[in-house]
Every structure is written in structure tokens, then in C-alpha cells.
Structure 1
Amino acid sequence: MANEENHQETDVNENNDSNQKIDRPGRQFYIPSQIVDEFGEKGRDHLNKPFRAQFLLALTAGSFMTFGAVFSVLLAVGVETKGIYHLLSGLGFAAGYSMVFISGAVLFTEINVLLPSYLFNKAGLMKKNIYKFWLSSYVGNIIGAFLVAVLIQWSGSFASTFYPELEMYLDHKMKFMDHGVKGWFQVLVSGVLANWLIGMAAFLTTSARDLTGKILGTTLPVVLFVAGNFQHSAANMGYFSMGILASDKYTWYEYIFFNLVPASIGNLIGGAILVSLLFSYAYKEDIQTSLGRKKNKKGAER
């Protein structure tokens, strides 16, 4: 009897140990292969939306870019210490990106990551739909950014100190224009770096499972790209929309041809290749999604 009781007690202890292992808390974030899955699914969902929804969400994202640009300027007005200046400016713009990522708005530079993740994991390309969607997101972002800039100017809300600070930002963005053809390619390379960072902001934001984590994941890469003056076309749409209305130092075509065009090309390269393609290829064996079929080592479809 004593032996039986000992065995029973041992079994109970083993069951308790087993239950403790099973009941341990799960991860509060997605692992990289799951993030690539999420990217692809978001890209597919955006692509399958009606055109009116795509365009309205693009307008919304562009609007948030102008709010972010304005906030970045407002927070940094009068700050002399460079490190704090860059930190506050980056935090200001992170507000715009947080609103984009969490609301599901369609931002051109985020689409440069989401849509390629979908295309890299499925067969066949719906070319007409893809090009139409990319174009509508870009145009929608510009219009949304400009409309909010107009409303801000009409509101007359800002103090006179805002506008000299804004002009400093514009000079910082447009300094490459003085370098001619070399400057054009410098903006392109800077655009690659910018969307690499914004792609990683999307990566970290998608990984997080709560609102605090998503905002923090967005903020860190955004602060870095703002501090580094890397040329991010969607962000610059916000600055330039305010600049067109508040200053005559640069013309609209200078903003477009000497900054937005090369920056956008760089953004496409940085997001599609350095984030989407890189991680899709690195984790292709682990990706399990309805976007495509996973293959075993012998090449048979699962």
C-alpha cells in the first residue's frame, strides 16, 4: 500500500510539472516568419479592396503625414541641443506613422513592403491591379497631404515661430538640389535607406501584439530616419505641402523632380528588396500562409 501511495504521489507531481509547462505564458509578439505572413496578407487585403476604399485610405495616410510633419516642427521649435532636437522631431513624426499603421491607412512607402511580400509568395501577377493600386496610393497620399496643409493654413493656428523652423526643414530636405545630377542620385540612395527603416518600423509594429508595443516599434526607426535626414517621399509630401503654401523659396516642380521622384524610386527599392524580398527569401521555408504553398525538402507541395 505504501508503495502504491508513493507511485500515486509521483504521478501527481509529474502531472503538476507537466501542467506547469503547458500553462506557461505564450509569446507577446510575432516571430519573423509570421510577420512576413502578416505582410503578405495585408498586401493582399489592400489589393482586393474596392478602388474607392483604396483611394480614401491613401488620402487619409497622406493627411497623417502632414500632421506628423507639422508636429515634428512644433516639438523642435527653439531647441538648440542637436540630439534633443532630432529626438523631438522624430517623436513628432512618429505620431503620424502610428496613426497610419494602426488605422490601416494606405501609405505608398508601406505598400512598398506589404505588396511585394504578397507577390513573392504567390504565383502570377495581377499587373493591371497592382500598378493601379500603387499609383492611386501615391496620388492619394499627395492630395491628402496637401488638403490638410490647406486646412492648417486656413486655420491660422500656428505662431510666427513655426514658419522659420519649417523653412529650415525644407532647406535640409532640398540641399541636394545644389549638387546637380550627383544630388539626384544621393536622394535616391537616401530614399533606399529611409524606406529600409520604415519597412522595419512596419516589421516591429506588426510583431507587437498590443498598442504600446506597436507605437514603440513605430517610433524607434522613425526617429532614426528623421535624425539622419533620410529622404522618405511620404514624409516629404507633408513638409512640402506646407512649404508650397508658407514659403516661395522652392517651387512645386523643384520639390517633385529634385526630391520626390528620386526619393520614391529609392523608397521602392528599399522597401521591396531590403525588407520584403530579403525576409521572404530568408524565411521561405518557415512561411505557412494561404498566399502560397509551402514545400517540403523533396519539393512536394504540402
Structure 2
Amino acid sequence: MSDSGVMRAELSIRDMLVRGMMAGALLGIATSLALTGAVQTGVPFVGAIVFPVGFVMIVCLGLELCTGNFGILTLSWMENRIGFAPMMRNFAWSFIGNLLGSVLYALLLVIALTNAWHTPVAGVAQKLVEIASAKTIAYENLGTAGMLTCFVKAMLCNWMVCLGVTMSMMSTSTFGKILGAWLPIFLFFAQGFEHAVVNMFVIPAGMMLGAPVHFSEWWLWNQIPVTLGNFVGGVLFISVAWYLTYRQRTVDPARVEGRPQGRAAIAR
């Protein structure tokens, strides 16, 4: 993970934007697939099962997802392998790329669902309208409690997202990476947690379809607190945790003299 963070910190702006746009679009596609499955079957759990396909593609292609990068690059920074400025540079450009890709796919999907706004909103389109309202207006109506709820849901979400990044690195096989990434992403989507990049697609799409959500409500009551919550969750539950327990340490040879070596020593 630390090596990956170093590599990502050195990417050009063009690479971060293009890879970020692709990641945002793929996550939007996966979200619309999940909603399609849930609407067609009437079982939301089906959507949670299929949603991780987007994250799996992002991981396998090495694209830039700002939420996953929160956990990866912060770990590299904590190990003093990258500077603060390069880390924040990656966060900013990957966020912008994710936003552009997500909104672009939202526009294209809305055109496809409504025959360029000539067909009444129904099915998946109506579900997008409902979700956009639930992710903004519902929190606004709760005031401070709504903001806190949104923030905590975002923390829990990115705990799972960054865990998906970690588990995808456990295997060198494609199937192993897919399985490792799939499990935590399924967990966050099934429980309705808040993911910044998913919301970059869902809320604008709902707004384009007629959801009574203003631009300010999107950002104040969802996008900003969710992004901050995703950052805190990824850093606290993954970057800090992994740094405290898995970082490489210098071992005094005198302390291990006479102990079993090799796999037996590692196991102990």
C-alpha cells in the first residue's frame, strides 16, 4: 500500500484526471446497475451484491478513486515517503476527476432513461429522484443530527472501501483481487453508508430528473460532510491502524538470537 501511494503521488495531472474520470464513471455505472437490479427484483440486497463490480474494475485497472487514495497516500505520508503537498495534490485532482466522470455519466444515463427528457420519470429514474432527496433534504430536515448522521455513515463507508483496497492487495491473482475487493464493498453498499463518489453520480442524476434538491443542498448537506467523513474513516480505521501494527520495524538481532527462524518465527 505504501509503494502504491508513492507511485500515485508522482502521477501527472493529466493521468490523475483521466484515471479519476474513468473511476467516477465506472462507479456510476455500477450504481445504476445496482439500482436496476433492486428495482427489477424488488430486493435491494440484489443491488448490494452486484455493485462491487465497479470497484473491482477500478482496482484491477489501477484507476484513481479519491476515497481509496485517502487510505493509501496517507499511509505513505505517515512513513515519510511522500510530502504533504504531493498527497493533497493527488486528493484534489482525483476528486475533480471523479466528479467530472460521475456527472458526465449521470447526464448520459438520464438521457438514456428518459429518451432525452421525452419520457416520464419511472423505474430506475424515479429511484434516483428518491435517493437524491433522501441523501440531502432528509438530512437537512434533521439539522445537526442529520449532519452528524451523514458524517458517521461516511466514516463507516470508507472504512470498508479502504479495507477493500487492502484486501485486493493480499493476492497476486486476478480472482483473488476480485474476491478480496468485493467483500467489504458489498458490506458498505448493503447497509446504505455514504460514499462521496457514488453521491457525485446519484445526486446530480436525481437533480437532472427533477428531484427538488438545490446545488447548495447537495454540497452542504451531503458532498462536503461525506467527503470529510470518508477521509476521517479511511485515515483513522485503515492508515493509522495499519501503520501502528503492520509497519516495518528494525529488529535487534540480539533479541531474536536462539529463536526459531523462518516461517516458525513469523508464526510466533
Tell me the TM-score normalized by structure 2.
0.85
Q: Does 1:295 align with 2:258?
A: no
Alignment gaps of 5+ in structure 2: 116-120, 254-268
- Do the aligned partners of 2:130 and 2:211 also contact (CA within 8 Å) in 1? no
How far off its partner does 1:228 sit? 1.3
Report what 1:204 is aligned to.
167
How far off its partner does 1:233 sit? 0.8
Cα RMSD after superposing both structures: 2.0
- Do the aligned partners of 1:73 and 1:162 also contact (CA within 8 Å) in 2? yes
How far off its partner does 1:176 sit? 2.0
Q: In structure 2, do the counterparts of structure 1 residues 47 and 100 end up closer, same or farther at CA, with 3 Å as the change threshold?
A: same
CA distance in 2, matches of 1:71, 1:178: 29
- Do the aligned partners of 2:171 and 2:177 also contact (CA within 8 Å) in 1? yes
How far off its partner does 1:139 sit? 1.3
- Do the aligned partners of 1:65 and 1:237 also contact (CA within 8 Å) in 2? no
Report what 1:85 is aligned to.
44
- Residue number among 117, 136, 140 corresponding to 2:75 in the alignment: 117
How far off its partner does 1:57 sit? 0.9
Report what 1:32 is aligned to.
none
- Residue number among 114, 125, 129 corresponding to 1:163 in the alignment: 125
After superposition, the C-alpha distances for 1:243-281 in whole angstroms (9 at most, x for unaligned) are: 122123212221111011111111111111211110111
CA distance in 2, matches of 1:184, 1:234: 18
CA distance in 2, matches of 1:63, 1:222: 17
CA distance in 2, matches of 1:136, 1:115: 13
- 1:11-90 to 2 correspondence within 5 Å? 39-80=1-42, 84-86=43-45, 88-90=46-48
Q: Does 1:269 align with 2:232?
A: yes
- Do the aligned partners of 1:72 and 1:93 also contact (CA within 8 Å) in 2? yes
After superposition, the C-alpha distances for 1:87-116 in whole angstroms (9 at most, x for unaligned) are: x11133211111111111100100011101
CA distance in 2, matches of 1:258, 1:75: 28
CA distance in 1, matches of 2:212, 2:32: 18
Tell me the TM-score normalized by structure 1.
0.76
- Do the aligned partners of 1:172 and 1:229 also contact (CA within 8 Å) in 2? no
- 1:171-186 to 2 correspondence within 5 Å? 171-174=133-136, 175-186=138-149
Q: Match for 1:255: what amino acid?
A: W
- Do the aligned partners of 1:195 and 1:268 also contact (CA within 8 Å) in 2? yes
Deviates more, 1:158-167 or 1:49-58: 158-167
- Residue number among 95, 103, 112 corresponding to 1:146 in the alignment: 103
Report what 2:118 is aligned to.
none
CA distance in 1, matches of 2:252, 2:21: 45
How far off its partner does 1:170 sit? 2.6
Deviates more, 1:150-159 or 1:268-277: 150-159
Which has the higher Rg, Structure 1 or Structure 2?
1
Alignment gaps of 5+ in structure 1: 1-38, 288-293
Number of matched pairs: 247
After superposition, the C-alpha distances for 1:202-245 in whole angstroms (9 at most, x for unaligned) are: 11111122222222222221221112111111121121231122
How far off its partner does 1:156 sit? 4.4
CA distance in 2, matches of 1:111, 1:297: 34
After superposition, the C-alpha distances for 1:156-199 in whole angstroms (9 at most, x for unaligned) are: 47893221222333344333222112211211111111000111
Q: In structure 2, do the counterparts of structure 1 residues 69 and 241 end up closer, same or farther at CA, with 3 Å as the change threshold?
A: farther
- Do the aligned partners of 2:71 and 2:234 also contact (CA within 8 Å) in 1? yes
- Do the aligned partners of 2:152 and 2:229 also contact (CA within 8 Å) in 1? yes
